[in-house]
Amino acid sequence: MYCFVTYSKGKTPRRPGHKKASTIDKDPVGVYCRIRPLGTEDEECCVEMISSTTIQLHAPDGLKANRNGEYKETQYSFKKVFGINTTQIELFEDVAKPLVEDLIHCKNGLLFTYGVTGSGKTYTMTGSPGEGGLLPRSLDMLFNSIGPFQAKRFVFKPDDKNGMEIQNQVDALLERQKRDSQQTVPKTPSSKQRADPEIADMISSEASCKSENVDEDCCYSVFVSYIEVYNNYIYDLLEGAPFDPIRPKPPQSKILREDQNHTMYVAGCTEVEVKSTEEAFEVFWKGQKKRRIANTQLNRESSRSHSVFTVKLAQAPLDADGDHILQDKYQVNVSQLCLVDLAGSERTNRTRAEGSRLREAGNINQSLMTLRTCIEVLRENQMCGTNKMVPYRDSKVTHLFKNYFDGEGKVRMIVCVNPKADDYDETMLVMRFAEMTQEVEVARPVDRPICGLTPGRRYRNQAFRDELTRRLEERGGPSNADDPVLLAQLIESLPALPPSELVDAADDQTLPCLIEVLERRHHIRQMMTEQFNKTANTLKSMLQQLDSQLSAKETFLHDQRSKLGEKDKIICSQTSEIERLEKKSKTLEYKIDILQKTTEMYEQDKRSLQHELETREQRLQRELTDRRRMEQCMQGMVTDAKLKWEKECERRVNAKQLEMQNKLWVKDEKLKQLKAIVTESKKPERPSRERDRNIAQKRSASPPPRSMALPVHPMHRRSHSAGGEKWVDHKPASNLDLDTVMQPIIPNAIKVSTPNEKALSKCHKYVLRHQELASDGEIETKLIKGDVFKTRGGGQAVQFTDIETLKQECPTAPRKRSTCVDNLEPWGNKAYQIGVLCSTVCHLTILEVKKSLGSTHEHISHVIGNTLTDHFLCLNLSKMNSKKVRSAGLSMFLTVFSQFYTSSVVITEE
């Protein structure tokens, strides 16, 4: 009922087979950095550990000066950095322990130390007494884990082609006996040289560790080999022939071969089967000693050789009974862990090697160069998808490592750093190489296929044996069957034999009695046999039952285990899922953080914008109220203007009405006069006709200007013109009082608002001040003049002789009077021209202004006084450079002027 799953043949190291590249999981080469303490406290330190993964290199002071003070600090990151206080055990836990775990689980591993000489590579790998390095600790862990499950010596037997064979117990026993007989001197601890350190000196028993999940249904065997690569030659450090110090034979170098799985191995290399840590370490130390002697004898530079200590673990499953190893070569699994202490990485000149040593050193250097090149090409191939050939074959070391980089396994490198300033340049090169190495990926070793046999066979077998012994002991099993006490007790339980002595031949009682007793005994014995058989049968059936129960339990257990495996897988996947989700949540948290910050920023913006909005609204409100006030103000002004204009209109309407009334009145008068003439002509008085005709003639010529009729003459003083005549000054009540300075002033006039006979009878002249609206909207005052004469009827009549128009004009309409210009020649260019215009009758133009003349009040009076005789008024407006001042001057001028002349004044600006 047991089945076998065929799995691939054990090989070292295993190749990934023909898997599709895409399905292969890869891990980067794990690069760790260890900084050793400075030799002396006062040395300059150029390495600083700045985090658990990063170190910083400072250029030493001297170097800084050499490089024109250019100060350079470089940082390098690794999987982990171990500071100066790191203990060997801490380093082991982090770096080597997982590799040993892998080794136990059929996975290959490569661990190497890299760095300049004196940086602590050997210290890290081997350690010193009390401070065991990774190698003794790895061995210790391995044997602690597989200790009880080790196969007997020679059960596993390496073939010559890097494979592993399995021998049956008899062959193994024979071989053991053969070896024992060859060892003439028995090896006892006392016979050993105590100079060699033992494992107990390296690791304290408390520090030992163990793998927890070792497959207990397997048998294990450990083989170690130790080689040295010097000058690109491989030497076996465990080779049997002892080194002869008297006639040193040059050691024979070994060659590399490829096995049927294309794995590289050192052909003919000694592989020693070891059963304990002590033994393994002893073997290692033997090799180490041989190496040291060879180096001294052959004058080698020890720091220039690479040493490779390989731990090979062979394992094969127990058979179905859990009793013996399965005799099947193809069930053997071999894994190996390579512990490599590389040569110092420094350039040759540092060691001051000479001659052949230099050449050798150069070769060693070459192998490290090749290692660097291989790593570079690998990295390039992996990163750029190129398929360049990796030059593994260029050196022995890289050729040996080929399968680790090409195949599968775990590769780890410890970069050792001595922080002293002398090593700065070399350390920098080491760091660069190390950082680059981290980018190379190696296929992750796959899990070994699960063996189809029931797990827990070993313990079941053990438990069965123990139980059997116990029960046998309980029942007084075969071991004590011959016990005389038991036998005596058994015999005693049978019916006692009667005395069987025959004294008489005729005794016929003794024999029958004996026969009876014997028959009874025989019967009892038969019964006992039956009972025994029955009990045996019951036991057998019980055992069978137990067995079936056990197998049922086993299958159940198997099921449970497989379920457990599945559950484990689920847990694994869920753990990774949780990790992923945690990562995601972290990113999301980060995003939320950013968003919150952005929101805060926006809110701040919003607040400031709102604030601005409020300010603007307030301003708007203010402007609105201002506008409203303005509107009200404007409305007030509009109503004012409206009122004013209404008044004005009313005034103009009144004026028009007045004019019409006057016209009507004039027409009435004319009609009346006509009527009077008509009535008069009917009378026979002829002489008056003559005068009437004259008048008619004059009137027909009207309105030509008549100089004698002028109330104002430009060339004469008013006092003169107003001499002897007396005037009726008719000013209708409807007339508006115009504020013009030029008002006709008539002395000795009788002012009336309506003409009456009484006033007319006292005067010879009549004048009517008639106002009307001119076409330009200005009010025009017309002085309608006439002569008063007595009518025949004893009444008064007025004969109109002249109409004089007074009008005030706006100064914006430019008007130039050439006559005046000529007269004003002495003053040169005029800035202003002031004219007093008296319609058709009176025409006075005066004028004025030159900028060069003075402008004070006194000056004006003075000028007026001087020029009036000439009928020219000149106004001195010099320095009146503002319009306001000039107009003030003008108004002053006109006030004075109007005392002498009554007329409309036109002021025009050129």
**Interaction site with ligand ADP (CB under 6 A):** 36-37, 115, 117-123, 128, 303, 344, 416
3-state secondary structure of 13: coil
d(C-alpha 354, C-alpha 345), whole Å: 18
Binding partner at 305 among Mg ion, ligand ADP, none, C-beta below 5 to 8 Å by kind: none
What is the distance in angstroms between the CA of the first residue and the CA of the last residue of the chain? 138
Q: How far apart are CA 767 and CA 106, in angstroms?
A: 150
Q: What is the distance between the alpha carbons of residues 259 and 222, in angstroms, rounded to a whole number?
A: 20
Main-chain phi, psi angles of 414, to 5 degrees: -110, 120
Residues 76-135 within binding reach of Mg ion (CB under 5 A): 121-122
Pick one of ligand ADP, Mg ion, none as the site partner of residue 109 (Cβ within 5 to 8 A by kind): none
Closer Cβ to ligand ADP, 117 or 876, answer by number? 117
Give the residue with the Cβ less far from ligand ADP, 120 or 755: 120
Q: Look up residue 415 and give its amino acid.
A: V
Residue 212, Cβ neighbours under 10 Å: how many? 7
DSSP 828: -
In one-letter notation, the amino acid at residue 798 is V
Our CB check for Mg ion shows the closer of 292 and 388 to be: 292
Shortest distance (Å) from residue 601 CB to Mg ion: 60
Question: Residue 854 touches which of Mg ion, ligand ADP, none (CB < 5 to 8 A by kind)?
Answer: none
AA letter at 13: P
Q: Which is nearer to ligand ADP, 121 or 306 (CB)?
A: 121
The 3 state secondary structure assigned to 209-224 is CCCCCCCCCEEEEEEE
d(CA 158, CA 310): 14
Mapped to the 3 state alphabet, what secondary structure does 604-633 carry?
A: HHHHHHHHHHHHHHHHHHHHHHHHHHHHHH
Q: Which is nearer to ligand ADP, 415 or 846 (CB)?
A: 415
- Is the Cβ of residue 86 or residue 276 nearer to ligand ADP in the bound state? 86
Question: Site size for Mg ion, by CB under 5 A?
Answer: 2
Of residues 43 and 439, the one with the C-beta less far from ligand ADP:
43
Q: Which does 123 bind (CB under 5 to 8 A by kind): ligand ADP, Mg ion, none?
A: ligand ADP
CB of 43 to ligand ADP, least distance (A): 13
Rg (alpha carbons) of the chain, rounded to whole number = 72
- Alpha carbon 816 to its chain centroid, in Å, reads 86
Q: Residue 300: which of ligand ADP, Mg ion, none does it interact with, CB under 5 to 8 A by kind?
A: none
Q: Which residue's C-beta sits nearest to ligand ADP?
A: 120
Q: Does 307 bind Mg ion (CB under 5 A)?
A: no
Binding-site residue positions for ATP: 115-122
CB of 302 to ligand ADP, least distance (A): 9
DSSP state of 164: E
**Minimum distance of Mg ion from residue 121's CB (angstroms):** 5
Q: Which residues of 824-859 are buried (b: 16+ CB within 10 A; e: fewer)?
A: beebeebbbbbbbbbbebbebbbbbbbeebebeeeb
Partner whose footprint covers residue 416, from ligand ADP, Mg ion, none (CB < 5 to 8 Å by kind): ligand ADP
Minimal distance, residue 343 CB to Mg ion, in Å:
8
Task: Quote the least distance from Cβ 88 to Mg ion, whole Å.
Answer: 15
- Cα distance between residue 238 and residue 268, in whole Å: 11
- C-alpha span between 261 and 665 (Å, rounded): 151
Q: Residue 115: which of ligand ADP, Mg ion, none does it interact with, CB under 5 to 8 A by kind?
A: ligand ADP
d(CA 19, CA 23): 7
CB of 204 to ligand ADP, least distance (A): 17
- Binding region: 115-122
CB 6, min distance to ligand ADP, A: 45
SS3 state at 555: helix
Shortest approach of ligand ADP to residue 380 CB, angstroms?
A: 29
Which residues 6+ apart lie within 8 Å of 550 measured at CB? 460
Burial class (CB in 10 A: 0-12, 13-18, 19+), 44: middle
The Cβ of residue 425 has, within 10 Å, a number of other Cβ atoms equal to: 17
CB 38, CB 45: distance < 8 Å: yes
Amino acid at 863: V
To ligand ADP, the closest distance from the beta carbon of 82 in angstroms equals: 8
Token readout for 480 is: 């004590």
CB closer to ligand ADP out of 120 and 322: 120
Which of Mg ion, ligand ADP, none has residue 36 at its interface (CB below 5 to 8 Å by kind)?
Answer: ligand ADP
Partner whose footprint covers residue 331, from Mg ion, ligand ADP, none (CB < 5 to 8 Å by kind): none
Q: Which is nearer to Mg ion, 307 or 363 (CB)?
A: 307
Residue 531 contact among Mg ion, ligand ADP, none, beta carbon within 5 to 8 Å by kind? none
Do 730 and 666 meet the contact criterion of CB atoms below 8 Å apart? no
122 vs 335, which CB is nearer to Mg ion? 122
Residues that bind Mg ion (CB under 5 A): 121-122
